[in-house]
Copies of this chain bind each other. A is one copy, B any other.
Amino acid sequence: MNGAELLLRNAVKAGLKVCFSNPGTTEMPIVEAMDTVPGMRGILCLFEGVCTGAADGYARMLDIPAMTLLHLGPGLANGIANLHNARRAHTPLVNVVGEHASWHRMYDPPLTMDIEALAGTCSGWQKTCSSAQDIGQDMADAIAAARKGQVATLIVPYDYQLARCGEREVSRVEPPVEAVDMKAAGEAAQALLSGRKAVLVLGGRALRAEGLMDAARIRAVTGCDLLAETFPARMERGAGLPDIARIPYLPEMALDVLSPYEVLVFAGAREPVSFFGYQGIPGTLLNDGQRRYHISPGHDALGVLASELNAPASVPGEFLAKPALHDLPQGSLTGDKICSVLAALQPEGAIVVEEAITCSLMYHPLTAGAKPFSLLALTGGSIGQGLPCALGAAVACPDRPVISFQADGSAMYTIQALWTQARLNLNVTTLICSNRSYDILKLELARLGSFEPGETAQALTDLGGIDWVKTGEGLGVPSTAVITAEELARAFQRALREDGPHLIEMLL
């Protein structure tokens, strides 16, 4: 056995099944080992940002880490933007990055970079292997670290991958089960019963079905409001679940939503801050008079809180969303009409990856009564996450339809994801909001007073000239363009009916 095989054996033993890969010379022993160690599926992505975004999407759906395989410093650098999103989502993710042979790095060959410095910007845990025989333990440690909800990066020199070594039993470090902080729960319970206007803000795992139900039980007994963080890693939603609004993205709107509350209890969510710092708008969106309580992020803590409050065992029906019957919109497409079509037609069990930026403003409100689905959002603000995340979610859940609701500007960052979707014949329907513009930036220019941007500002926010049908087909995905809501409905239904990936360019 060599180091590469030892690494993969320990990965498989720990439950890892998939490796989103873009290897180079220094990772070839690990590539070879994928054919000798059973149980690890290597999936090729044509750009590293696709690997890391796919690993994020995979783990958000299954709660087990995916592995990535990246080539030296430049490969890791290309993956960092989506590792940043994964970090913000608290996704368990194991990056394996090759390094020059340990004896060769001193010569500073052309591809040499400071991989550790790069890893430090996005990893909660990292290590550079220092021997072949420890690779097994290093990998077990990386996986244990990742399972705590973070990015773990293991840097593996080429010669250690190749070196012969025995298989040593590794000490498996299981992530600690977080004990519920009873004191915090008790204080939160008292605050919710104090008669003050209160809201329970949910984030992380509290947005899974169990957490949502516990939150609704708490609402039933205390009368508190419920809110979700702005960009959830994964949120369950639809008919039969509590309808929970997300804190708005724009700070002015978020302040309006949050300011009435005297008491805020955070379960798995951070205290909200403005996405950007604007002159005249505070950076934090709470004021000193508002009392804040934090309970552990998991659903257990919410269950404990519900018990403390003697909440009813089940959620009264009035607190659950009713199935909504949507009339299908007609005529020329708008962002809102697209959201309506989706809300009406998205099938039960759909996984919706939302990176539609300005086009999806109405999506959340319109889907309260949609068929139950999972929503995956852009957690770290680093665009180019949607297509890879959809790819990873589809690999994780091959029996569920994946809908990739996508802005055109953001889609271009990691467009290579379409190729892997095609190669694996995944059931991903990519809906491109083709407004041919970075509309969000036009909004920001208007905020600065540029309501009629100059020629250069115009050119730097204008995306005209992409033919998404040809681009999609060029990468192997059957593609079509629509200009009306009726056409969208038909194309969307056809895409869902047929096997494999589809792309629909929605011309706005």
Best-surrounded residue of A35, A78, A467 (most CB of chain B within 10 A): A78
Q: How far is the CA of A32 from the CA of B452 in the complex (A)?
A: 11
Interface residues of A in 103-132 (CB under 8 A from B): 103-111, 113-114, 117-118, 120-122
- Give the oligomeric copy count: 2
**Contact, CB under 8 Å: A107 / B274:** yes
**Interface flag for A372 (CB, 8 Å):** no
Chain B residues contacting A463 (CB-CB under 8 Å) are: 46
Q: A28-B445, A121-B117, A445-B31 are in contact. Are A158 and B46 (CB under 8 A)?
A: no
Q: Which of B158, B422, B459 contacts A276 (CB 8 A)?
A: B158
A467 to chain B, nearest CB (A): 5
Stretch from A140-148, A175-183, A214-222, A468-476 contacting the other chain? A468-476
Chain A count of residues within 8 A CB distance of the other chain: 98
**Contact, CB under 8 Å: A460 / B74:** no
Interface residues of A in 438-470 (CB under 8 A from B): 440-441, 444-445, 448, 450, 453-457, 459-463, 465-470
A8 to chain B, nearest CB (A): 11
Closest to A281 in B: B104
Q: How far is the CA of A35 from the CA of B461 in the complex (A)?
A: 13
Q: How far is the CA of A278 from the CA of B473 in the complex (A)?
A: 40
Q: How far is the CA of A47 from the CA of B476 in the complex (A)?
A: 21
**Contact, CB under 8 Å: B32 / A457:** yes
**Contact, CB under 8 Å: A276 / B36:** no
Interface residues of A in 395-426 (CB under 8 A from B): 409, 412-413, 415-416, 419, 422-423
**Interface flag for A314 (CB, 8 Å):** no
Q: Which of B113, B379, B441, B457 contacts A84 (CB 8 A)?
A: B113
